[in-house]
Structure 1
């Protein structure tokens, strides 16, 4: 048995446990816990430095996470994801998957999980999730399963697929490389794919049917009020809808949209059709049918003004107050388009008259409490609101800059492919992609704050600091020695399971790289000491490094979904611990079976 751990190792383990308990209780904000953890490491190592190091070395260790490639990668990927969203580049993929989800939500979820697993077998986990994350956020906003109930299962599917090949993750390559350096025969790309595939068959029912039920509907879409606006759909003289009737289009209409009045009257050129729908539904119909809900001259004027000012075109919801001049007027008689350069796209009436929905929204008399859906540049909208005594109800939503959609998609694809084939590290390709998004105007520099999350940034920095102190204090090595001493009298199957769980513990509280670096030599030493074959023990380490579902700090993809899903530390624990136990048990049994142990 090894002797007691050093003071620094014991303190590192105690701090890790304390941080874990604080996260799990959820009474203190994660960012506060993260900052306190970093401060304790910094002050502790300054006054009680590690052997052979200067006090300032401790400060460098504690704060190194803020400049770590992992954090830079996550921030750059968030920026590129923002570029895909604001340019509308993901709309084709979102529409395709939304059709599958409309067939059946359960079927859509299963197809999504299988797609994620398949992609991550040959492409690094992080780029796969970056591509899928904004798509599933938009799917949730379109009425599919809430993002908070899909992103953790989707992330788990990506991680399971990533462990199936030697090139699935950088951690897999690290484990295999260390094992080869220590004398084991080289592993080929698909040597253990069949084992992971069988384990995935056991895990998929849990990801598909159980895990979403364990997650709350706490996404942004669940809290959003979907008002229906009366509007006028304008059809140009060359539109494909000419000659069809609203009834002919019933199966193609998105949820939350309806034609008002006669459903059988054919649509004519230059028609003005009374319709109603949510903001998203109106936007989708305009895109699908190449129609408008505002006069062409107003839209062109808005875009020209925004381009001249270097500003975005935004859409906001504004309520009519009792002091507003607009009370008692209609939109045309108010003259707002000519006076302010904004377009009122639709009207939601708080008190509906008996004729509402049977005539154009432009004929509706505005009342106190009515909500206007207004498009324009932010300067004009603010002037409109201040002058006409209107109350802003929700933050400005940018109109997608679709002219840059192909460019944004090409930048993202280039970053993903270059990282996947090993041309550059993911940190370099992601940073290059983020810079390209800025240079080309896909993402505006003053909008970066909307893409980044302060909570995720400090959480990543804290996890990196914890991982380094666990490794450099000798805590990981001491735990490995303790494990080796305790496995001498156990059967082979139990040895495999214990090694895998030990590495899983390290990877969920330190890092994948630390777990691989510490776990691989320990596993090979245990195999030689106990007379066991090397390959299954090394695979136990490789699989354990990928069982990083139980905490948000375990892997960078866990961090990426945290903000979008509005997850807490407890959400990862509640769903991840059962999956870790399920996968560890299944993989251990399969290793014993295939290697005849």
Structure 2
């Protein structure tokens, strides 16, 4: 019995110190329980096969798709239009919205859905994400107290009541308790976040300064100023012609930045934009849409010579879904120095285009074919992201500025946002209702796979990159601790000792003891396991005092669910840990006072809502 308690105490010390990563501490805790024969290997590894862990992984992918498709940015923009940029107002709105969703969806699912949206809100409102993400996790747990299905401990106490022959709870029996909990929690978190979570995180800003954004490159080289969007009708002379025969760059001095199909321009709900670069073997077809850059007089001549149509649009912008741009610096050792671009066969050899040159502060975009490459030239190149990345492997005489594949990962696939929204909505409906008879973990896995298959990620690798493995390992490794405490009888001894010692002091003191005991146990056990353990003790305590058990059972579900003082006590707390760059001490400084304040408030209020 002593062994698991000692191991947990040592682990807690390392968590607080924060010198070792939390997932490594959790794994060492797990290994210690195996080596001391407290747990068998099968018991110790059971957390990694737990449906909650599988659900977490799937929700990371769903959340990543919401972010990658720009859906989070769209939703956050609408929220900001309503609430402005005041950090306190944003915190309140985030908590309210999260709590409402959390009343019907699992708190893990709620946080995973809201996390990319809240990160986007923080970025656009210039508010520290650290100040919003912990309240997001806590609000999801508070929202679970609003309805019967909001959190598993609610169902546990409902079952305890019905088995004891007491009147069961209705769907909204929890609403008064949940409203009080959310109100007290929000009021308490406002000052706590200002005091302890307001330190500005500049690491992302510093990283952002190292590489120009795609928008900055477009503006710097004035690509859109000379951009024309042309349409190839069926009677055009260009239909059926190859790029090599056209010789557009030499004859007209123009550059085709990309080629698209008409359907990808006009379909406003489900777009399947296939961006294509143009090479010597490219065959132009009728209904192709060409993005052409160059002198306007030469564009006009090109249009007249081949009977093309100029598409009228006020939104002349370049998208970077499949095709990207980057800067390439020519070194003194470059093999191509002194050659005119027309003689380098750059497009044919490297499948990329040179669309502009920066030379001694001058930007050259016209008649590029006749420009001789010189040492120190910075070429703006365009092609598929993969081909741009490969350029650095072909020659030692040039250097790619920045990291193209990282730049690509930051480009939102906005044409897929409607699909991502539809998949997310179906997942939420499946999790919140019985309309679709599947388990929540199945709904999440279906949604995550659908996001990948529908192209909401650029590649499967991008989907895997959205998974925060540190959080996954942390929760999976700490889950079996509850088995160790139950197996050795430590949890039962603790709960019985505390409750028995307070039983003679009156119902209110006993109520406080039950809440405190449940809260302490929930630091080490899952909230469901804690509720299962404490519900019969609460029932017996109420029977011993000959009073109704409702207040005591609500103290159990509150103590089990309102666990904020540890990052591994609930999956939502772990989900936001890395995104918010929190340490274990952050949870102690903010979560512990919040947990105590809510506990005091509920001990006072519960007897009024559910009289003894």
- TM category, shorter: 0.7 to 0.9
Q: Distance in 2 between matches of 1:69 and 1:210?
A: 33
Deviation at 1:123, TM superposition (A): 3.0
Shift in alpha-carbon separation, 1:442–1:487, aligned structure 2, 3 A: same
- State the partner residue of 2:298: none
Deviation at 1:525, TM superposition (A): 1.1
Cα contact 1:319–1:393 (8 A) shared by 2: no
Q: Which runs of 5+ in 2 are unaligned?
A: 231-291, 296-312
Which 10-residue stretch deviates more, 429-438 or 382-391?
382-391
Cα contact 2:391–2:400 (8 A) shared by 1: no
Residues 547-571 of structure 1: CA distance to partner in whole angstroms, max 9, x if unpaired?
Answer: 1211111111122212322222222
Deviation at 1:210, TM superposition (A): 3.0
Residues 350-380 of structure 1: CA distance to partner in whole angstroms, max 9, x if unpaired?
Answer: x9x6x89xx9899999996979696632233
Shift in alpha-carbon separation, 1:361–1:76, aligned structure 2, 3 A: farther
Shift in alpha-carbon separation, 1:165–1:386, aligned structure 2, 3 A: same
Q: Distance in 2 between matches of 1:481 and 1:545?
A: 16
Residues 419-441 of structure 1: CA distance to partner in whole angstroms, max 9, x if unpaired?
Answer: 11143332121122222233334
**Over the residues paired in the alignment, what is the CA RMSD in angstroms?**
3.8
Q: Distance in 2 between matches of 1:133 and 1:381?
A: 31
Which 10-residue stretch deviates more, 442-451 or 145-154?
442-451
Q: Which among 383, 390, 396 is matched to residue 391 of structure 2?
A: 383
Q: Distance in 2 between matches of 1:488 and 1:383?
A: 75
Deviation at 1:417, TM superposition (A): 1.3
Deviation at 1:140, TM superposition (A): 3.3
Q: Which among 162, 177, 197 is matched to residue 195 of structure 1?
A: 177
- State the partner residue of 1:117: 99
Correspondence list, 1:471-490, <5 A: 471-490=486-505
- State the partner residue of 1:136: 118
- State the partner residue of 2:133: 151
Q: Does 1:182 find its partner at 2:164?
A: yes
Shift in alpha-carbon separation, 1:201–1:337, aligned structure 2, 3 A: farther
Q: Does 1:583 find its partner at 2:598?
A: yes
Correspondence list, 1:566-577, <5 A: 566-577=581-592
Match of 1:563, SS state, is: coil
Which 10-residue stretch deviates more, 437-446 or 192-201?
437-446
Q: Distance in 2 between matches of 1:289 and 1:507?
A: 57
Q: Does 1:409 find its partner at 2:421?
A: yes
Which 10-residue stretch deviates more, 471-480 or 381-390?
381-390
Q: Distance in 2 between matches of 1:545 and 1:382?
A: 53
Q: Does 1:44 find its partner at 2:69?
A: no
Q: Does 1:29 find its partner at 2:21?
A: yes
Which 10-residue stretch deviates more, 102-111 or 551-560?
102-111
Q: Which among 411, 424, 427 is matched to residue 441 of structure 2?
A: 427
Q: Distance in 2 between matches of 1:158 and 1:348?
A: 51
- State the partner residue of 1:12: 4
Shift in alpha-carbon separation, 1:103–1:37, aligned structure 2, 3 A: closer
Q: Distance in 2 between matches of 1:347 and 1:492?
A: 80
Cα contact 1:528–1:534 (8 A) shared by 2: yes
Cα contact 2:499–2:510 (8 A) shared by 1: no
Q: Distance in 1 between matches of 2:326 and 2:21?
A: 31
Cα contact 2:352–2:387 (8 A) shared by 1: no
Cα contact 2:355–2:365 (8 A) shared by 1: no
Deviation at 1:339, TM superposition (A): 6.2
Match of 2:550, SS state, is: helix
Which 10-residue stretch deviates more, 327-336 or 565-574?
327-336
Deviation at 1:112, TM superposition (A): 2.0
Shift in alpha-carbon separation, 1:377–1:237, aligned structure 2, 3 A: closer
Cα contact 2:538–2:552 (8 A) shared by 1: yes
Cα contact 2:61–2:448 (8 A) shared by 1: yes
Which 10-residue stretch deviates more, 188-197 or 154-163?
188-197
Q: Which among 83, 107, 112 is matched to residue 65 of structure 2?
A: 83
Cα contact 1:125–1:169 (8 A) shared by 2: yes
Shift in alpha-carbon separation, 1:412–1:362, aligned structure 2, 3 A: farther
Aligned residues: 516
- State the partner residue of 1:280: none
Deviation at 1:334, TM superposition (A): 9.7
Deviation at 1:521, TM superposition (A): 0.7
Residues 301-331 of structure 1: CA distance to partner in whole angstroms, max 9, x if unpaired?
Answer: xx7xxxxxxxx55666767767668999999
Tell me the TM-score normalized by structure 2: 0.74
Residues 125-156 of structure 1: CA distance to partner in whole angstroms, max 9, x if unpaired?
Answer: 22222221111222334353122221111111
Q: Does 1:397 find its partner at 2:408?
A: yes
Residues 4-41 of structure 1: CA distance to partner in whole angstroms, max 9, x if unpaired?
Answer: xxxxx222222222211111111112122122112112
Shift in alpha-carbon separation, 1:379–1:467, aligned structure 2, 3 A: farther
Shift in alpha-carbon separation, 1:340–1:96, aligned structure 2, 3 A: farther
- State the partner residue of 2:252: none
Residues 39-68 of structure 1: CA distance to partner in whole angstroms, max 9, x if unpaired?
Answer: 1122222xx67xxxxxxxx11100111111
Q: Distance in 2 between matches of 1:187 and 1:101?
A: 36
Which 10-residue stretch deviates more, 421-430 or 530-539?
421-430
Q: Distance in 2 between matches of 1:577 and 1:361?
A: 64
Cα contact 2:325–2:380 (8 A) shared by 1: no
Q: Distance in 1 between matches of 2:432 and 2:174?
A: 20
Larger-Rg structure: 2
Match of 2:45, SS state, is: helix
Deviation at 1:467, TM superposition (A): 1.8
Q: Distance in 2 between matches of 1:435 and 1:129?
A: 19
- State the partner residue of 2:452: 438
Cα contact 2:527–2:561 (8 A) shared by 1: yes
Match of 2:384, SS state, is: strand
- State the partner residue of 2:304: none
- State the partner residue of 1:552: 567
Deviation at 1:523, TM superposition (A): 0.9
Q: Distance in 2 between matches of 1:141 and 1:206?
A: 24
Q: Distance in 1 between matches of 2:47 and 2:560?
A: 20
Which 10-residue stretch deviates more, 64-73 or 118-127?
118-127
Q: Which runs of 5+ in 1 are unaligned?
A: 1-8, 50-57, 239-269, 274-287, 304-311
Shift in alpha-carbon separation, 1:28–1:542, aligned structure 2, 3 A: same
Shift in alpha-carbon separation, 1:499–1:177, aligned structure 2, 3 A: same
Q: Distance in 1 between matches of 2:30 and 2:377?
A: 49
Deviation at 1:513, TM superposition (A): 1.2
Cα contact 2:85–2:125 (8 A) shared by 1: no
Q: Does 1:495 find its partner at 2:514?
A: no
